[in-house]
Amino acid sequence: MDEKKRNEAYNRYVKAKIPKTKAWPSLFNSFLVGGIICCIGQGVNDLIMLWFPSMAEQTAWAYTLIVLIFIASFLTGIGVYDKIGKFAGGGSIVPITGFSNSITSPALEFKHEGIIYGIFVKMFTIAGPVIVTGVVASFVVGLIYLFI
């Protein structure tokens, strides 16, 4: 069997073995969970504004995100967020809670490699690219804004 044929056979084999996510239920689940997470965020924000009426709107949003990040990090620690993630897919990745999960999860997983090389280094495996993209893109926007 020549190489090309072998590769084709292998690709067919891989395609057959990859677990198929059923499109419609998973879209519905991500919609549901994502919507609920956003509503929780709105609830937290409304409570903060209710308890501290003098707080600036931007500060209240910062606290809201910090609360959501705390909850997601804790749920990741006790292993609940992964279960939500299995059900919700994108619904648990796209909200800021997914960002928090993407930092806590590898930190926890690679804890056994030590504090510095495990927790500190692995913490940024997913968050690193996100922060780099955000910082570079926002700098470019700021720079353009400077000249127009």
Partner 1 sequence: MYYLWVFLIGGFVCMLGQMLIIYTNITSARILVTFVLIGVALQAFNVFAPISEFAKAGINVPIIGFGASLAKGAMAGAQSKGLIGAFTGGLEATAGGIAAAVIFAFIFALIFKSKTK
Q: Is the Cβ of residue 10 or residue 28 nearer to partner 1 in the bound state?
A: 28
Task: State in angstroms the smallest separation of the CB of 27 from partner 1.
Answer: 5
Q: How many CB atoms lie within 10 A of CB 141?
A: 10
Residue 30 beta carbon to partner 1: minimum distance, rounded to whole angstroms: 4
Asked whether 68 and 97 are in contact (CB, 8 A), the reply is yes
Q: Which is nearer to partner 1, 1 or 18 (CB)?
A: 18
User: Is the distance from CB of 89 to CB of 110 less than 8 angstroms?
Assistant: no
Specify whether the CB–CB gap between 42 and 34 falls below 8 A: no
In angstroms, give the least distance from the CB of 5 to partner 1.
25
State in angstroms the smallest separation of the CB of 11 from partner 1: 14
Nearer to partner 1, 50 or 143 (CB): 143
Nearer of residues 55 and 63 to partner 1, judged by Cβ: 63
Assess contact for 46 and 62: CB atoms under 8 A: no
In the complex with partner 1, which residue's Cβ is closer, 53 or 79?
Answer: 79
Residue 45: both structure tokens together: 């924000």
Token readout for 48 is 């903060």
Query: CA-to-CA distance for 81 and 93, rounded, in angstroms?
Result: 10
In this structure, the number of other CB atoms found within 10 A of the CB of residue 81 comes to 23
- Cβ of residue 2: shortest distance to partner 1, in angstroms? 28
